[in-house]
Amino acid sequence: MIAALKTIIGLIFDDWWMGIGLLFSILITYFAIQGGLDAQMSGWLLVILIIGALILSLNVEYRKKSKKLK
């Protein structure tokens, strides 16, 4: 658990879009579980949210790098 927290904190400082996306994904999944969502569905929700955060992060980084090349 501590290693996962250190990884997320490291991502926030290194690639803050990905770090924030991971934190929101975990929080949304946590509240979904607390709200009564099935554990299997919560797992799929977490996977979908993490993939969405990864796509957002890659998109933002690509746009930053393409602006620097112009």
Higher pLDDT, 20 or 46: 46
| Mean pLDDT, rounded, of the chain | 83
SS3 assignment for the chain: CHHHHHHHHHHHHHCHHHHHHHHHHHHHHHHHHHCCCCHHHHHHHHHHHHHHHHHHHHHHHHHHHHHHHC
Q: How many domains does the chain have?
A: 1
Distance between CA atoms of 69 and 58, rounded to whole angstroms?
17
Residue owning tokens 């994904």: 25
Q: What are the pLDDT digits (tens) for 49-65? A: 989 988 888 888 788 77
Q: What is the pTM of this model?
A: 0.71
Q: Which domain holds residue 57?
A: 2-69
Residues 39, 25: Cα–Cα separation, whole Å: 15
